[in-house]
Structure 1
Amino acid sequence: MRLRYAGACRTCGTTLEAGVRAVYDASTRTVTCVECPTPEPRPDVVEPVPAAPPAEVDAGRAGGSARREYERRSAAREKRIREAHPRVGGLILALSDEPQSTTAWARGAKGEEMLGRGLDALADRGVRILHDRRIPRTRANIDHIAVGPSGVFVIDAKRYKGRPSLRVEGGILRPRTARLVVGSRDCTSLVQGVHKQVSLVRDALATAGHGSVPVRGVLCFVEADWPLIGGSFQVDGVHVLWPRKAYEHLTVHGALAPSAVDELHRLLAQAFPMA
């Protein structure tokens, strides 16, 4: 209808003069434009663009690179034997064992996978995990990185037989030294390897402005001969323990809020990509 009196559109607020065609609602005594005008954009007003949600961090696959190395070595051995012995290659493979240098990769992968499943189960307790992370510009990798309320943990998983123990030697007349022994095997070199990994993680955090975040090294022996009571210890600042004890360390209350844990988790995922 054509308006007898001036009014304002109840939808867009445009002033409607008397005589203009519009829609009149008798029940509410309001008028509405036949077609509301589209407002002209103001050049001086910049509409905010909604921030895209951060991409989900891929935690990686525990033991992935060790499993691939085992499969590569196993396939190369099979190919070598079948080519050298076309007729009886299958029989040779069936009756012979793979060399220890090959099976060690499968055993290591299994240990990382077992520990990885337990670490993933800590998500509901505020712990974020990264598995099998590549150290840039090298062929080496870090088995697991955990970020929890009390800080960052660099975890090296080992599936060795025997009982881990701390051997302290020296004293008054000669320098005091601490060695990590598993069964009768001196494994102190593993401690130095963890120290190198911890140093790299600290450097990555410091570069991003998080140099004050605690970073701890952990050697976790899966399926080792641990005593029923006690057993965990430290060698040169590196925690030596079993999976369940590791979970206790990771879930200790600390100063990091969940948002800070997520930020550090994302930062370390970028610094150490999947292997």
Structure 2
Amino acid sequence: MDGGTDEKRMRLRYAGSCRVCGVPLPARAEAVYERATKTVRCISHDESSPVEPSVARGVDPDLGDVVESGTPGASARREFERRKAKREEQIRTKHPKLGGLILALSDERQSTTAWDTGAAGEERLGKGLDRLASDTLRLLHDRRIPKSRANIDHLPVTASGVYVIDAKKYRSRPHLKIEGGLFRPRTERLLVGSRDCTKLVDGVLKQVDVVRSLLDIDVPVHGVLCFIEADWPLIGGTFTTRGVQALWPNKLYPPLQADGPCTGETVAEVHGQLAYSLPPA
């Protein structure tokens, strides 16, 4: 123990930063955990003589945590390239002389181009999100869910909580269809055009549960389906189903920048926890 019962010297489970000098503290580094403020500090700092952030160890206070934010759409882009290369190899092996011509005159399978479309949507939204980055809006992109083949597209950690965002590059109009009510159970279905995409909501809810289970700090966790290039109406259009918001990028950005209960220190700590638990895909 260090400095009394409210402090504990320990090895960090998650990456963080010293609240006194701002030095990044990687996971498993020794530090002092302050229970009262739920922050950490370097073991070299005596609380009786605090140090100004701009002076301590010559640290730039704007440096922030050393966390790999990830590359938007990276795993989807790799899968597209893998499938494309595999098809090309198969065609050239089967048709040594005409392989090039066949490839030039034929289209990729829809199952392959879907990965290209998905990657493009994630890349586009990722660029928009990155422009918003600040001390109270930290980002993680394309994070792998442990023990699963699934990934989370975007994870902004903000003053108003964590946003679990699934990006979809669909062109038809998303809308909510509600059935039942008075005499039979009420059901909600997410449709994109005439296509039933309710399973997308199920997927986001599972991701929200994963994120909540990884946090030891009580912060709001919001589920979002962000449709890029969809046929949204001029007025209205956004909706919420089973707690998951359905919207487009320009409707997403304002709530991410809004004030909320999380301080900059909390945002940094949560960001570090999620970066440690959800590695880049």
Residue 98 (structure 1) aligned with residue 108 (structure 2): yes
Residue 236 (structure 2) aligns with: 230
Residue 195 (structure 1) aligned with residue 205 (structure 2): yes
1:125 and 1:251 in contact (8 A); partners too: no
Deviation at 1:125, TM superposition (A): 7.4
2:276 pairs, out of 252, 262, 270, with: 270
1:62 and 1:131 in contact (8 A); partners too: yes
1:244 pairs, out of 250, 254, 267, with: 250
TM-score normalized by the length of structure 1: 0.79
**C-alpha distance in 2, partners of 1:49/1:231?**
54
SS at match of 1:81: helix
Equivalences, count: 224
Residue 87 (structure 1) aligned with residue 93 (structure 2): no
SS at match of 1:157: strand
**C-alpha distance in 2, partners of 1:226/1:142?**
24
How big is each residue's C-alpha offset from its partner over 1:126-148, in whole Å with a ceiling of 9 and x where there is no partner?
31110000001111110011111
Q: What amino acid is the match of 1:66? A: A
Q: Over aligned residues, Cα RMSD in angstroms?
A: 1.6
Deviation at 1:160, TM superposition (A): 1.1
Determine what percentage of the aligned residue pairs are the same residue.
Answer: 60
Q: What amino acid is the match of 2:181? A: G
Q: 1:55 to 1:234 in 2, by over 3 A?
A: closer
TM-score normalized by the length of structure 2: 0.77
**C-alpha distance in 2, partners of 1:250/1:167?**
27
Residue 44 (structure 1) aligns with: none
Q: 1:261 to 1:106 in 2, by over 3 A?
A: same
1:63 and 1:132 in contact (8 A); partners too: yes
Q: What amino acid is the match of 1:119? A: L
Deviation at 1:55, TM superposition (A): 5.3
Residue 122 (structure 1) aligns with: 132
2:204 and 2:225 in contact (8 A); partners too: yes
SS at match of 2:224: strand
2:136 and 2:263 in contact (8 A); partners too: no
Q: What amino acid is the match of 2:202? A: Q
Deviation at 1:262, TM superposition (A): 1.0
For 1:39-188, list aligned pairs within 5 A. Answer: 49=44, 56-124=66-134, 126-188=136-198
1:158 and 1:221 in contact (8 A); partners too: yes
Rg larger for: 1
**C-alpha distance in 2, partners of 1:55/1:266?**
8
SS at match of 1:66: helix
SS at match of 1:123: coil
**C-alpha distance in 2, partners of 1:219/1:190?**
8
Q: Where does the alignment leave 5 or more consecutive residues of structure 2 unmatched?
A: 1-42, 46-55
SS at match of 2:259: coil
Q: What amino acid is the match of 1:99? A: R
